[in-house]
Structure 1
Amino acid sequence: MFYDGSCPLCTSELGVYERADTDNALVLVDVSSASFSGDEFINRSDAMARLHVRFDDGRQVSGAQSFVEIWRVLPSWRWMAKVESIPGAVPMLEMLYRLFLRARPCVVRGFKRFQGTFGKSDPC
């Protein structure tokens, strides 16, 4: 799982997934880390832009499908992965995810304000 460790919202969600990962199924890669420069399958810019999941066989998915794949391997979240069987659900989730990505900077600012870690004068 490739995630943006510089995003407090992302790391908060990641914490939920880490606690649920009782089988240690997820390998977490913080793409905001100075040690991540990308590889032959993904570059830093693409990795920072949206969530990506890579399988052991090299296949890679991003966006809403990434969430489905994460949910699929977490015992307490497997029920959420069943959304994939609902016709049109994953494309709808992808549309919502893309809308979220556009609003993400403002959402993160609000999240930081809620946590008390962001200046009040910073506009969204």
Structure 2
Amino acid sequence: MKSDPDITVFYDGACPLCVREIGLLRRLAQADAICFEDVSPPDAAPSCDISRSRLMARFHARLPDGSVVEGARAFTEAWSRVPWLVWLRPLGSNVASRWLLDRLYDGFLKMRPGLQWLAGKMQ
């Protein structure tokens, strides 16, 4: 069993949608493949050099080499640690598909406040 995760995912634990997504990744990811770091507490001290507010605004992941990626690249890196989703990883390395995924994610982020409200009501 590995002692260090492959990647660290930074997420907004105050966001009902984010918590559901992270819950799914936790259940499906390979053992110890992903470290999940909740940056929502006001006193959170993220383990990277990116501000807490920026980490909460957009999905980020720290890779094994220490670099931090965001958006589509971060999602595809996380998905690649999930056996059922590993086939999605090439989407993150293809420039055209990553561009499209980032535009879709940007659109989602604009709708996120309303979706968070709705998800909160459904709990």
Q: TM-score, normalised by structure 2?
A: 0.84
Larger mean CA deviation between 37-46 and 15-24 belongs to 37-46
Residue in 2 that maps onto 1:8: 16
- Aligned-partner Cα distance in 2 for 1:64–1:37: 24
Give the 3 Å change call, closer, same or farther, for CA 97–90 of structure 1 in structure 2.
Answer: same
Residue in 1 that maps onto 2:4: none
- Please identify which structure carries the higher strand content: 2
SS in structure 2 opposite 1:83? helix
What percentage of residue pairs aligned between the two structures are identical? Answer: 37
Larger mean CA deviation between 105-114 and 9-18 belongs to 105-114
Residue in 2 that maps onto 1:71: 79
Letter of the 1:62 partner, please give it: E
Larger mean CA deviation between 75-84 and 100-109 belongs to 75-84
- Aligned-residue Cα RMSD (Å) equals 1.7
Residue in 1 that maps onto 2:62: 54
- Aligned-partner Cα distance in 1 for 2:62–2:32: 15
Gaps of 5+ in 2: 1-8
Question: Within 5 A, what are the aligned runs for 1:108-123?
Answer: 108-115=116-123
Letter of the 1:108 partner, please give it: Q
SS in structure 2 opposite 1:53? strand
Q: Summarize deviations over 1:56-113 as a string: whole Å, max 9, x none.
A: 2211100111101001122221012232355511110000101111110001111122
SS in structure 1 opposite 2:34? coil
Q: Summarize deviations over 1:11-37 as a string: whole Å, max 9, x none.
A: 011111000113220011000024423
Gaps of 5+ in 1: 116-124
Letter of the 2:60 partner, please give it: H
Aligned residues: 115
Structure 1 stretches (4+) deviating beyond 4 angstroms? none
